[in-house]
Amino acid sequence: MSRLEIGLTQLRVWDHALCVRCNRAMRVPLFRATLRVASRLGNGVFWYALMLALLAVDGANGVRPVAHMAATGFVCTLLYKWLKSKTSRPRPYAVVSAVRAGADPLDAFSFPSGHTLHAVAFSIVALAYYPALAWLVVPFTALVAASRVVLGLHYPSDVLAGAAIGALIARLSLLA
């Protein structure tokens, strides 16, 4: 077995073990309910509401940031759907008997976490225009990311990959 194969096997073992450990947090009803709400809002509701609020509060000055967020979200959607179709990684609750699903998934595959990818990308773009919103979007993004693992819908590596891809797309969009 090569070093790469050994490293990937160790990563897989770590990923599964951390997923199981995080999923146990669902036993705390208030925590489970909070993460379910964050996950549901992370489907897009929070970000659409934020975009509408920016337009309502900032008027014409909000059009560019909102258009930037929408365009970034579109690119993120295309990329994460393509990646999911190519990797076809099953969700943890589907293959790890110790992991229970705490919410209904939007699709069958887990890699990468689309919720996290979008949350990170939207946060970076929004904060580039409105840094004062950090108090709101940073904790929400962290809750969305945590919810995906705790609810058994993603492995930690899915969430880390989603965050990295979302950050890359957002940063590249800011350079354009």
CATH number of the structural domain spanning residue 107: 1.10.606.20
Q: What is the pLDDT of residue 107?
A: 85
Residue 162 has pLDDT above 80, yes or no: yes
Residue 7 has pLDDT above 80, yes or no: no
What is the arithmetic mean of pLDDT over 34-49? 94
Q: Percentage of the chain with pLDDT > 90?
A: 71
Q: What is the pTM of this model?
A: 0.92
3-class secondary structure, 90: strand
**Amino acid residing at 166:** G
Residue 27 has pLDDT above 80, yes or no: yes
26 closest CA partner among 92, 115, 84: 92
3-class secondary structure, 58: helix
Residue 8 has pLDDT above 80, yes or no: no
pLDDT tens by residue, 106-134: 888 999 999 999 999 999 999 999 999 99
Q: What is the pLDDT of residue 132?
A: 97
Residue 3 has pLDDT above 90, yes or no: no
Q: What is the pLDDT of residue 11?
A: 84
Domain that holds residue 65: 3-175
pLDDT tens by residue, 55-95: 999 999 999 999 999 999 999 999 989 999 998 889 999 98
**Amino acid residing at 38:** A
Cβ neighbors of 167 (< 8 A, separation 6 or more) are 120, 121, 124
145 closest CA partner among 167, 169, 174: 167
Q: What is the pLDDT of residue 71?
A: 96
Domain tally, the chain: 1
